[in-house]
Amino acid sequence: MAWIEPEVTKKPKKPMFLCVLSSTKTAHIPKLSAAGKTAELTDYTPAGDAELMETGNIISVPVLPMTPPYDTPTPAIMTRSALKLTDTPYHFINSGLIVTPDVPCIDLKAKPGEDIREAIAVRDVQGIYERGKFLAKRLRNQTDHVIIGESIPGGTTTAMGVLTALGYNENVSSSADENPLELKKQVVEEGMKASGLTFGCLKDDPMKAIACMGDPMMPAVVGLVAGFQGTEINVVLAGGTQMAAVYAIIKHLGFNTEKISIATTRYVVEDKSAHFIELTRTLGVPVVYVADPGFGKSSLKGLHRYETGTIKEGAGAGGAMYLAGLFGVTQDEFRTEVENVCKLLKAGQ
């Protein structure tokens, strides 16, 4: 497999990377998310990701975003590497964080998401959407090609919840070796019942699907995409099943999707427990870019764990690698930079 497929050749004049950082109390459900050493520590993961992407290490959070039991490093190491290699402008966007990072963030004034087993999972969906849209309009003249990533533990479960409400019955991926699909399905079923929903009942009201079954990352990203509509700006949604769910919302809102694509890692695509490619085909995503960092060739054990399915995507890693590919960075150059980031990270602990 090539480093990026399909091959990317045209370098944009003014690329920009945006990473939406959010929290959902759905991640507190034991054994649901592997994006932290314990369910409670997942609250620190988005903040830790942002600090790592910005500085190469954590500043204010008490623990590095690692996945047990092998301390596999967060995908934010890939995003930092790509941003360093390409010198691309970037912004972090706070859309409902429980723990905020000690680095500059644009604040959308969103509240953290509730457990989707409650009647309301996201409050002020329309307000978050409008503020995201306003932000994108302010950024329009600074970019011609925007990559939007996310960091939100528990996000594949909320993705499943929204997809179910919209009428899609595809399995979602996971940040764990063993995808806890039965637990996710049970949580979504309980959430649908708590909100009085049935399969596909909100296909004509995707914003309500977010409010009942989603998380605060979703209206932020959808709002950003709305703000870039009607321009020549290409939008790449950087992520796996979470961004597929965002794309579904965009489609059900009737947006023009010609200039919207998805970029993810081969680890998501090869996840046999999930139906990522089938879902993107059902949704009619124009292009899905798949990035392979080649970690099987790495000497670092933590990176080898990606090859066995421990963590697959996050912090916009797939889109960040796609960005590196646009700049002509080779797989070997990228992997070497990731290894350097890991070594500095370990030295700073």
Q: Which of 51-60, 157-166, 282-291, 317-326 has the lowest mean pLDDT?
A: 51-60
Res 158 pLDDT > 60: yes
Nearest-angstrom CA–CA distance, 347 and 54? 17
Nearest Cα residue to 161 out of 170, 148, 174, 149: 170
- Reference 291, options 335, 257, 258; nearest CA is 335
Task: Quick: pLDDT tens for 15-32.
Answer: 999 999 999 999 999 888
The whole-number average pLDDT for the span 36-43 is 68
Rounded distance between C-alpha atoms, residue 336 and residue 187, angstroms? 40
| pLDDT confidence of residue 305 | 82
Could you tell me the pTM of the whole model? 0.94
- The answer to whether residue 2 sits within a structural domain is no
Backbone φ and ψ of 86, nearest 5°: -105, -15
Is the pLDDT at 176 greater than 60, yes or no?
Answer: no
Total residue length of the chain: 349
8 inside domain? no
Taking CA atoms, 221 is separated from 3, 22, 150, 208, 332, in Å, by 27, 11, 9, 16, 32
Least confident residue range of 120-129, 198-207, 300-309: 300-309
7 part of a folded domain: no
Domain count of the fold of the chain: 1
Domain residue limits at 343? 18-348
How many other C-beta atoms are found inside a 10 Å radius of the C-beta of residue 2? 11
Q: Which residues in 186-203 are b (16+ Cβ under 10 Å) and which e? A: ebbeebbebbebeeebbe
CATH number for the domain harbouring residue 48: 3.40.50.10210
Does the structure show a pLDDT above 90 at 40?
Answer: no
Give me the helices (H) in 229-330, please: 241-252, 266-269, 276-283, 301-307, 317-326
**Taking all residues of the chain, what is their mean pLDDT, rounded to a whole number?**
91
At residue 116, does pLDDT exceed 90?
yes
Nearest to 106 by CA among 92, 116, 96: 92
Whether 288 contacts 268, CB under 8 Å? no
Is 5 domain-assigned?
A: no
Residue 20 pLDDT: 98
Stretch 176-199: mean pLDDT: 88
* Per-residue pLDDT band at 34 (split at 50, 70, 90): low
Alpha carbon of residue 207 to chain centroid: 19
Contact 145, 263 (CB under 8 A): no
Residue 52 belongs to a domain: yes
Please check the confidence at residue 148 and state whether its pLDDT lies above 90. Answer: yes
Q: With a cut of 70, say whether residue 7 has pLDDT above it.
A: yes
Q: Which residue has the higher pLDDT, 257 or 349?
A: 257
What percent of the chain has pLDDT above 70? 91
Pairing type for strands 4-5 and 288-291 reads antiparallel
Q: Examine residue 341 and state whether it is found in any structural domain, yes or no.
A: yes
Confidence of residue 71 (pLDDT cuts 50, 70, 90): low
Whether residue 283 is contained in a domain is answered as: yes
Residue 3 lies in a domain: no
For residues 76-86, give the mean pLDDT.
95
- How far apart are alpha carbons 176 and 1 in whole angstroms? 24
pLDDT at 180: 78
* Structure confidence at residue 65 (pLDDT): 64
